[in-house]
Amino acid sequence: MANLKDIAENIKKNNLDEALNLCDDCDDVNNQHIISNFRGVIYLIKENLELSEENFLKSLKINPRFEDAIKNLYLVYLKKKLFKNLLIYARKLVEIDKLNAEHTYKLAYALELNNDLEESIKYYNIYIDFNGKNKKQAFNNIGCIYLRINKPKIANDFFLKGINFGEDKIIINNLLNSFIMLRDLENSDLYFEKAQKIDENFLDFKCNKARYLILKNQINEAIEILEHHQNIPQFLITLLILYSNLNKKDDRDKLLMTHKDRIKNDRKFYNYLALSSLYDG
């Protein structure tokens, strides 16, 4: 008769079909919640999200407080971009263990994805106070939230706290973006050079390069970069804002018409649409 250790070993070795067969052969009545969770993990590795979700839910029906299944469902809903469901299971994790730093981080991130930004910042700060193992990411995420609500000075402070835990291309580019928004030429020059040296092909850097060129009043070069990447939301939004600021309403409206379906259905454009409606009256 198969046992749980055999199933786990086969999953670890990526012998997924054999692991599934062992799950079917295992008649351990006291651990059916674990076996269903194993099935869910196998289907998650196979990228069958529907069967994965089904088995994790089955596991939780047997044992509603089984943390492994809840954490795995969180991953499924993150992959499926079902952010309301993501938040439900993030809350369940924190309800089970309020002192678990990683559960707190998951809740902060789920709140962020559900646009509950104030609560998200609250839980990121709790995670930092818990001395979570990835404080740099928490500081970076808080900074990104403040950038979204157009508070680059506060964002900058959090990015600088995060960079104390090590530099990488993500946080360097976020710092560059915040200095550009603050129109701080000296630090924009400094972090532009850093970001370019780390990875000049990184998409965030390319968008920041366009913003940097705008700050330096090199408009044509900036437009060239933005037009080349206009199928990516952050580039398109920057280009739309630039055309509005240059009073090129016809160019802006043409872009809006070209991308109207994407803009209407992509949450990344919501802030831009709200602001443009305000400015256009």
Q: What is the pLDDT of residue 253?
A: 84
Q: What is the pLDDT of residue 1?
A: 53
Q: Cα 111 to chain center, whole Å?
A: 11
Q: What is the pLDDT of residue 268?
A: 63
Give the mean model confidence (pLDDT) for residues 81-96.
97
What percent of the chain clears pLDDT 70, i.e. is strictly above it?
Answer: 93
CA distance 90 to 124: 13
User: 100 pLDDT band (50/70/90 cuts)?
Assistant: very high
Q: What is the pLDDT of residue 281?
A: 41
Give the mean model confidence (pLDDT) for residues 133-153.
96
Who wins on pLDDT, 259 or 36?
Answer: 36
- The pLDDT of residue 58 is above 60: yes
Q: What is the pLDDT of residue 27?
A: 78
Give the mean model confidence (pLDDT) for residues 97-121.
97
Who wins on pLDDT, 205 or 275?
Answer: 205
Give the mean model confidence (pLDDT) for residues 176-185.
97
Q: pLDDT tens digit string along 155-167? A: 999 999 999 999 9
User: 2 pLDDT band (50/70/90 cuts)?
Assistant: low
Give the mean model confidence (pLDDT) for residues 89-106.
97
- The pLDDT of residue 252 is above 80: yes
Q: What pTM, to 2 d.p., does this model score?
A: 0.89
